Structure formats: C-alpha cells, structure tokens
C-alpha cells in the first residue's frame, strides 16, 4: 500500500508569538516547547519585560486573543515597540482538544498564527478610538439621565402630582420649569400651570388639577436631590459635547476636510438628547457626502458611524466585507453540499444596533424606496427579517456613498413600479405557457370573474 503524503503546512509568520490575555496575568508563547512559554503580569513594568522577552527571541509578529478590554493597554504597548500585532477573535482559537490550560491556549494561538490560520479583527485608528470613547461615555450619561427622570416621575407620583400624565416629557422645557418651581417652594397648582409652554395641549385648568398633590417633606427632599443630580448629568453631557467638538476639530485640521460652507446639507429634527455638535457638517467634512439624505438616517445614526467606524471605513475593500463585519449578512453553514443554516449571527456592534433602530422606524415614512423595500421583505418574511435586510441595505448605501464619493440617488418610484409591473407580467406569461392556457380560456375566465 502506498503511504499517504503528510500535509505540509506553509509557515506564514516564522517569527511569531501567541499571547493569551487575562485579567491578572498574560501567558506568552514564542514556540511549542514548555521552555518557550512565559508568564507576565499586567503592570506597565511587566509589559516592558514582555517586550524585552519578545525582542530577545527576535519576534516580529504577535497574535493575542480578544478578551474584553484587558488587551488594550498591552496592544498599544506592543505596537509602540514596533511589533506587528494582530487581535484575533476568541471563537477562532477554540479548537484545542484535551485539558484546557493557559499554557496550551497560548501555544495553540502561536501555532495557528504561525501557519496563517488566524485573521486579525477590525480595529479602529487612534483618532476614531478617541471619538468612540467619548461618544460611549456620552451615551452612558444619557442613560443615567433617563434613569434619573424615571425616578423623578416616581417621586412625584408618590405625592399624587401627575405631571407625567399632563405632559409627555419630564425633561422638556415645561417639565423642567415646573419641577424647578416645586423645588424652589411653589405649591399652588394654578401658578405652576402658568409655567407650561404654549404648545402643551392640556388646558390651564387641567394642568392645575394634575399639579394638586399631597405634599410630603421627605418626597420633596428626594425630588430636590434627584433634580440636582439630573441637572449635573445634563451639564456633563454638554461638557462631553464640547470635548468631542475639540477632538473633531483636531482630526479634521490634521487630516484635511471637505468644504461645507456652500453646500445645502439636509437638516432633520433634533431631539432632547441630540448632540450640540453640528453632526451634519462634521460628517460632510469627514466623508465629503451628505449622509442625512438617506431616509431614516438621523444625527444619532451618523454620530454612531463617526464614532464606531470613522474614516476606517476605507479599510473595507468591498461593501460585502463591511456588511459582514456588521453581522448583517447571512452566515451560511454548509455540509454535504447543502446549506443547513443561514441565520444572521448575533452581535453587540454599536453601529449595527443603530442601523437596526433606524430601519425599525422606516415604517413611519409615507413614501420612499427604503419603505417599499421594507414592506416587501416584511410581507414575505416578517418584520424581524425586514429590519435586518433594511439595515443591511442602508449599510451598503453608506459604504458606496463614502468610498465612491457619490450622492444618495434612490430609485425613482415610477421606474420602480414600472419594473415591478414588467416582472409581474413576465411571471404571468411564464405561467400561461407552463399551464398551456389559450386566449379563449383567458377571455372566458375574465368574463366569469366580471360576472361574479
């Protein structure tokens, strides 16, 4: 019998190391023997010792497994030291058999990376990371302000002051004016109702009735404390907006920008939590296109794109790769020549969640190409599938606009309806030929339908 030829793996990175990142220590492997594995701490001095260890073994490429936020400081330290660092996904390294240990993990990472079986994850540039950090901090502050508003409403309900029923938003102009007056000592419902904005639909008498409560000293103390905390958080949000503006100005000045002074950019209605930064102008300076032209793309959507992707969108050579990174493309699993699953994988990508939220509001529109696309998918596969498909469509549109420097040009609805009519007629003709239906049968059938 002929001996089977052993499979020869081609070495891609001969001078490589694998690092198993942990919360209390890091395991580093520069080879497959036990004496080529070493344990390091997490302090800055330990990072320097690791760098010296890697340089002694003439390492040029390093792969580390993505583990929460523990890798970030080490990743930057290795990059500054001149190593080519690749951050790999944890699911790509879970193939080792037998007892699982930290030593085996780092050796397995080093072996897979040496033969080129591990792909690096997408990592934004330092400029994008700065904006991302500030934007996520801002979102956390917004969540905190929402929790404080809910507690303020609960505190007022305990005193039977139903301001939450009288107005829609306690954080708006009317709500804050009335709460401030209560904190300052006003108890007369008629005088509190005068503070309402003219846009409030409730009458003066109705508001006064809702603002007559059973005053309690302890609840009033809690209300004052919560109101001060809410005002403090809102001030922190404004300061964060200013810090983000300074970062954007530095990035745009250093990297160059498109002139937006003479361009009529699309403006959309702002909400209470909208950034004080001119997001529309900033995005045009960043990308050279007006992303607000797309249906259901709000300032929050564009801000999420700037913070989570930034100019690193050009790292994706095709729209398919961009959509795949967003986890909006079907994950086809094949076995035996058949697709056994095509479910879209779950993700915690912030921009993906923003696109899904934007797609979920498309049904509020009256017209538009994306609305017809959403309705078509929802009719066939349900609303959930329509949200995913529309979010993917929006991602492709955004990638094409930015990378190709082209404005948003949706399909003309008259042409869209004409093509749809032509496809329907083509399907009907195929069905007539397949069923061998002649003209007389069609006339008789139409007459019967008209008679019924």
DSSP letters, 213-265, are ----HHHHHHHHHHHHHHHHHHHHHHHHHHHHHHHHHHHHHHH-----TTS--
The pLDDT confidence band at residue 118, using thresholds 50, 70 and 90, is: confident
Distance between CA atoms of 63 and 111, rounded to whole angstroms? Answer: 10
DSSP state for residue 266 in the 8-state scheme: -
Q: Which two tokens stand for residue 433?
A: 């030929």
Q: State pLDDT tens for residues 419-450.
A: 888 888 888 888 888 887 877 777 777 777 77
Report the pLDDT value the prediction gives residue 222, as an integer from 0 to 100. Answer: 93
User: If you search the block for the tokens 């073994």, which residue do you land on?
Assistant: 57
Higher pLDDT, residue 69 or 239: 239
Determine the 3-state secondary structure of 339 from DSSP: strand
Q: Is the pLDDT of residue 4 over 60?
A: no
Strand partners, 26: 40
Ranges 128-137, 251-260, 270-279: which has the least confidence: 251-260
Q: Could you read off the pLDDT of 297-345 as tens digits, one per residue?
A: 888 899 999 999 988 899 899 999 999 999 998 887 777 778 777 788 8
> What is the mean pLDDT of the segment spanning 205-220?
87
Q: How far apart, in whole angstroms, are the C-alpha atoms of residue 223 and residue 180?
A: 10
Report residue 97's pLDDT band, with 50, 70 and 90 as the boundaries: low
Report how far residue 56's alpha carbon sits from residue 8's, in angstroms, rounded to the nearest whole number.
Answer: 29
Calculate the alpha carbon distances from 108 to 22, 66, 93 in Å: 16, 15, 7
pLDDT at site 2? 47
Portion of the chain with pLDDT greater than 70, in percent: 94
Strand partners, 38: 28
With b for 16 or more beta-carbon neighbours within 10 A and e for fewer, the 213-249 pattern comes to: beeeeebbebbbebbebbeebbeebeebbeebbeebe
| Closest listed residue to residue 325, CA positions, set 343, 301, 309, 311 | 309
Rounded CA gap, 127 and 132, in Å?
A: 9
> What is the pTM for the complete model shown?
0.81
Q: What pLDDT does residue 8 have?
A: 63
At residue 452, the 3 state secondary structure works out as coil
Contact indicator for 79, 54 with CB cutoff of 8 Å: no
Confidence class of residue 3 from pLDDT cuts 50, 70 and 90? very low
Flag the least confident range among 39-53, 95-109, 373-387. Answer: 95-109
Strands 16-20 and 26-29, how do they pair? antiparallel
Q: Is the pLDDT of residue 69 over 90?
A: no
State yes or no: pLDDT of 29 exceeds 60.
yes
For residue 92, is pLDDT > 70?
A: yes
* Confidence class for position 402, pLDDT limits 50, 70, 90: very high
The residue to which tokens 């469509």 are assigned: 393
The pair of structure tokens assigned to 64 is 């580390």
| pLDDT for residue 255 | 72
Where does residue 448 rank: exposed (0-12), middle (13-18), buried (19+ CB within 10 A)? exposed
Token pair listed for 213: 């409560």
Q: Please give the mean pLDDT across all residues of the chain.
A: 85
């Amino acid at each position: 019998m002929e001996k089977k030829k052993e499979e020869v793996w081609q070495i891609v990175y001969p001078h490589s190391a694998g690092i198993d990142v942990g919360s209390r220590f890091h395991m580093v492997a520069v080879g497959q023997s036990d004496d080529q594995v070493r344990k390091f701490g997490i302090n800055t001095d330990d990072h320097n010792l690791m760098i010296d260890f890697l340089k002694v073994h003439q390492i040029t490429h390093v792969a580390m497994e993505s583990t929460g936020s523990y890798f970030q400081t080490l990743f930057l330290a290795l990059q500054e030291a001149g190593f080519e660092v690749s951050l790999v996904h944890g699911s790509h390294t879970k193939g080792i058999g037998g007892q699982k240990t930290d030593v085996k993990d780092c050796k397995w990472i080093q072996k897979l990376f040496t033969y080129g079986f591990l792909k690096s994850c997408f990592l934004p540039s330092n400029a994008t990371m700065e904006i991302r950090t500030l934007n996520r901090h801002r979102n956390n502050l917004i969540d905190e302000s929402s929790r404080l508003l809910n507690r303020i409403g609960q505190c007022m309900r305990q005193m039977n002051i139903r301001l939450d029923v009288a107005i829609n938003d306690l954080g708006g102009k009317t709500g804050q004016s009335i709460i401030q007056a209560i904190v300052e000592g006003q108890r007369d419902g008629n005088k509190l109702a005068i503070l309402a904005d003219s846009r409030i639909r409730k009458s003066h008498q109705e508001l006064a009735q809702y603002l007559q409560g059973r005053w309690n000293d302890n609840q009033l103390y809690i209300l004052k404390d919560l109101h001060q905390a809410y005002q403090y958080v809102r001030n922190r949000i404004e300061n964060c907006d200013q810090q983000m503006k300074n970062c954007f100005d530095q990035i745009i000045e250093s990297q160059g920008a498109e002139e937006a002074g003479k361009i009529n950019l699309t403006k959309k209605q702002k909400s209470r939590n909208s950034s004080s930064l001119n997001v529309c102008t900033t995005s045009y300076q960043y990308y050279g296109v007006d992303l607000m032209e797309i249906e259901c793309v709000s300032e929050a959507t564009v801000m999420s794109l700037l913070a989570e992707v930034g100019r690193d969108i050009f790292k994706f050579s095709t729209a398919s790769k961009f959509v795949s990174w967003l986890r909006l493309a079907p994950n086809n699993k094949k076995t035996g020549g058949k697709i056994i699953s095509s479910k879209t994988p779950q993700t915690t990508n912030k921009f993906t969640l923003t696109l899904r939220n934007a797609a979920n509001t498309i049904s509020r529109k009256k017209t538009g190409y994306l609305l017809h696309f959403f309705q078509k998918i929802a009719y066939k596969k349900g609303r959930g599938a329509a949200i995913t498909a529309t979010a993917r469509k929006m991602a492709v549109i955004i990638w094409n606009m930015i990378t190709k420097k082209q404005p948003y040009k949706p399909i003309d609805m008259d042409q869209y309806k004409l093509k749809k009519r032509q496809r329907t007629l083509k399907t009907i003709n195929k069905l007539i030929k397949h069923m061998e239906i002649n003209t007389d049968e069609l006339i008789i059938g139409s007459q019967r339908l008209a008679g019924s």
